[in-house]
A and B are shown apart, each in its own frame.
Chain A
Amino acid sequence: MAEESYPDDLRYHQEHDWVRIEDAEATFGITWYAQDALGEVVFYEPPEVGSQASKDEAYAEVESVKAVSDVYAPLSGEIVAVNEAVAEQPELVNQDPYGDGWLVRVRLSDPSEVEQLMDAAAYRELLAEEG
């Protein structure tokens, strides 16, 4: 299991999802807090490449032994790549939530949505309030 961290180069959504923006594309995943709350991830089925992700709506599910958790899109766009390695080894989400545990890559349809996301400091504050 990874150590708790919220990298400064990412943006965050209140449903505990992160996004790494690279020009017109972005990578999505779930935060350390989300994977810790869920417990060991044992099942993940990636969405179809070519399907649409809509900001604030679920685009996939991750499951632990006990529970199912929706994964929310922090931004809108077309899914251009999915992490098949996580489908094979779901525990990657726990071991490396910001690296090998990434979930999808998306071609952003409205890059200005980024402004609605939190930076790492704001997200840590949110966690402290929910704490």
Chain B
Amino acid sequence: MATAALKRTPLYEAHLAAGAKLVPFAGFEMPVQYEGVRMEHLAVRSACGVFDVSHMGEVETSGPEAEALLQRLLSNDVSKLAVGGAQYSVLCREDGGILDDLFSYRLADDRYLTVTNAANHERDFAWFEEHAQGFDAEVSDAIDDYAMLAVQGPEARSIVAELAESELPSRMHTATLGIAGDQMLVCGTGYTGEDGVELLLAPKHAAGVWGALTAAGARPAGLGARDTLRMEVCFHLYGNDMDEHRNPIEAGLGWCCNEGTGFIGSEAIAAVRERGTEQKLAPFVLTGPGIPRQGNAVISGGQEVGLVTSGTLSPSLEVGIGMAYVPVELAEPGTEVEIDVRGKLRAARIESKPLYRKEG
């Protein structure tokens, strides 16, 4: 893709000023790192980092039958999502294949905001619109209405609280309040395994809020650190760890599927849950040197038995880590396998989630 075709977030200038290395990502020119992935990662684990995730998309669903429509689209039980709550779910095809993974926030009785992955946003929105037929609900594309910042780390809440006009919502809750003088949706969610908040705000306010957060001690962190942080806690990345050819059961996302609600794909998923899957997504660590990467083969008994979907060097654990689809009988924690890293066989052990646990 030519650079000219890439979109920029409202923080583009702020990223340049902070020394960011910008790369194309899902059609946007995004900061992959500032000073270094490892340092930014460790800053989030020990203090506080702020990520520009304005490339993420938003879809608003409103109207008397908004809940009924979302119950049909999303895998989780939307009736359990109260006003001011947050809920994770997957969006599936009829055959159970995963179209996206999403966070939905209930803003009012009849109004929800759903955050999409940038690369899937157009397809998701089209899917929402198509299935809204027959429901007394309106679906609107809100991608241009919001910038999004993720403030994450053990000090994130105290840094944001200093700038907030009222109390921050607790984990998995959301509220509209003023931060650094501007009204925004504050959500107790994140993608790092740390405490923190995500801010959904008007693009015109993004630069000011970013400046206030960094001045208060939040360190700019790029998509590189976001990726290593989520891998350490085994959060899925759409396109790596699941896609439309994988179902939520084998991806380990059965916990966010409630087939009793009759969502699109629920019958197929109920059948898979009943009969079991051949493969399962399993986290692993290398027990010796090397860094596993997406696309590496998993080897057991000299045979290729699976595929690495995400891999990196863990900055916290200082070993190679990853996730791979392996046969269910090999997915048990403690199982020894090998990873074929560009022709070199690296010793690995299947682990349980998460790979990184906070001390104490």
What is the interface of chain A, defined by CB distance below 8 A to chain B?
39-40, 42-43, 45, 61, 63-66, 68
Tell whether B152 is near chain A: CB-to-CB under 8 Å: no
Nearest neighbor of A42 in chain B, beta-carbon distance = B313
A43: B residues at CB distance < 8 A: 289-291, 313
Total contacting residues, chain B, CB less than 8 A: 19
Nearest neighbor of A64 in chain B, beta-carbon distance = B37
Inter-chain contact A65/B224, CB cutoff 8 Å: yes
A65: B residues at CB distance < 8 A: 37-38, 41, 224, 228, 312-313, 315
Instruction: Give 18 new A-B contacts, CB below 8 A, not counting A40-B37, A66-B33.
Output: A39-B21, A39-B33, A39-B36, A39-B224, A42-B38, A42-B291, A42-B313, A43-B290, A45-B289, A61-B342, A63-B291, A63-B313, A65-B38, A65-B41, A65-B228, A65-B315, A66-B312, A68-B291
Q: A45-B289, A68-B293 are in contact. Are A40 and B36 (CB under 8 A)?
A: yes
Which chain B residues (63-115) contact chain A, with CB distance < 8 Å? none
If over half of B's interface residues share one DSSP class (helix, strand or loop), that class is named, otherwise mixed; here it is mixed
CA distance A42 to B291 in the complex (A): 9
Contact of B342 among A40, A64, A68 (CB under 8 A): A68
CA distance A42 to B319 in the complex (A): 10
A45: B residues at CB distance < 8 A: 289-290
- A75 CB → nearest B CB, Å: 24
CA distance A98 to B291 in the complex (A): 25
Q: Nearest 5 pairs between A and B by C-beta?
A: A65-B37, A40-B36, A42-B313, A66-B224, A43-B291
CA distance A20 to B41 in the complex (A): 36
Q: A61-B342, A65-B312, A65-B315 are in contact. Are A40 and B38 (CB under 8 A)?
A: yes
Tell whether B331 is near chain A: CB-to-CB under 8 Å: no
Which chain B residues (30-52) contact chain A, with CB distance < 8 Å? 32-33, 36-39, 41
Nearest neighbor of A40 in chain B, beta-carbon distance = B36
Nearest neighbor of A67 in chain B, beta-carbon distance = B293
CA distance A61 to B289 in the complex (A): 13
Inter-chain contact B32/A66, CB cutoff 8 Å: yes
A66: B residues at CB distance < 8 A: 32-33, 37, 224, 227, 312
Question: Would you mind naming 23 contact pairs between A and B with Cβ atoms under 8 Å apart?
Answer: A39-B33, A39-B224, A40-B36, A40-B37, A40-B38, A42-B38, A42-B291, A43-B289, A45-B289, A45-B290, A61-B342, A63-B313, A64-B37, A65-B37, A65-B224, A65-B228, A65-B312, A65-B315, A66-B37, A66-B227, A66-B312, A68-B291, A68-B342
CA distance A65 to B221 in the complex (A): 14
Nearest neighbor of B33 in chain A, beta-carbon distance = A39
- A130 CB → nearest B CB, Å: 14
A40: B residues at CB distance < 8 A: 36-39
Which chain B residues (282-318) contact chain A, with CB distance < 8 Å? 289-291, 293, 312-313, 315
CA distance A121 to B36 in the complex (A): 29
- A42 CB → nearest B CB, Å: 5
B289: A residues at CB distance < 8 A: 43, 45
CA distance A39 to B224 in the complex (A): 11
Nearest neighbor of B227 in chain A, beta-carbon distance = A66
- B53 CB → nearest A CB, Å: 17
